[in-house]
Amino acid sequence: MNKVVLITGGASGIGWAAAQGFAAEGARVAIADLQVNTAQQHAMSLGAEHLGLGGDVSDEEQVAMLLERTLDRYGRIDVLINSAGIPDSFAPTVEQDVAAFRRLIDIHLTGSYMMSKGAAKTMLHQGKGAIINLSSIAGVLGLPLRNAYSAAKAGISMMTRTMGCEWAAGGVRVNAIAPGYMLTPFSRKLISEGKLDADRLRRRTPAGRLGTARHIADAMLFLASDRAEFITGVTLPVDGGYMAFGAASDAYGGPLDAIVGMTDELQ
């Protein structure tokens, strides 16, 4: 894959899995993250042809800087992956902080908008490009206590549709992935804090297990490839059947392996 891939939130979790996946396929990867030292260290670990950048996707000037530095280094951007994000509060609505709500929307939704807008200018000039956004099952299903996150992810899915339709004739495809409950560092933290019940989630998932960041990275590799050249405006669930299931019973009735000791190979 002779492509230049810019990944926001690329220093951990799904973003880092994507960086490793694309690098393994021969792409040159620019890892952008608030944690600049980690981004640079990860880029170095992938090889000298990769780039680590620090920046806040909710800041328009820093967004411009991330795009400019990637273009300065490589001369083009073929794939943009918008995976930067922060967790929500898991608090009752009447107790939620408005400033925290706005901050989450700014990073997830506005950040994806600004990064996509900036990258599309280059991609449309090139006549080709792919943008992949991170939505969520939270953007489709009603998850109490998660107003900001759910609103942001639903917005990302609809923005994916509008941009995908707007830029298709110019050769720029825009798609999104809606992960289910994945075994990432973020979800591990929520499980340890008692905010997520891992056994209940696995019972609710037809596949009977949580996914990993690699599952999302593999879907990104497909959507970024020429094999997906006629796919745009789509939000693809990668959730082990979670959103497809609708019966009034457990989706999975088999044995549950202990989650302790389970590893996400691409943390």
Element (H, E) at 239: none
- Say what the pLDDT of residue 258 is: 65
254-263 pLDDT, tens digit per residue, is: 998 766 444 4
Whose tokens are 């073929």? That residue is 78
pTM for the model stands at: 0.94
Count other C-beta atoms under 10 Å from residue 229's C-beta: 11
Structural domains of the chain ordered from first start: 4-238 (3.40.50.720)
Enzyme catalytic residues:
149
77-111 pLDDT, tens digit per residue, is: 999 999 999 988 899 999 999 999 999 999 999 99
pLDDT band, residue 195 (cuts 50/70/90): confident
Backbone angles phi, psi at 193, to 5 degrees: -85, 0
Element (H, E) at 26: none
Residue range 165-181: mean pLDDT, rounded: 97
- Say what the pLDDT of residue 188 is: 87
CA distance 126 to 58: 26
- Mark 9-46 as b/e (b = at least 16 C-beta within 10 Å): bbbbbbbbbbbbbbbeeebbbbbbbbbeebbbebbeeb
pLDDT mean across residues, the chain: 94
106-135 pLDDT, tens digit per residue, is: 999 999 999 999 999 999 999 999 999 999
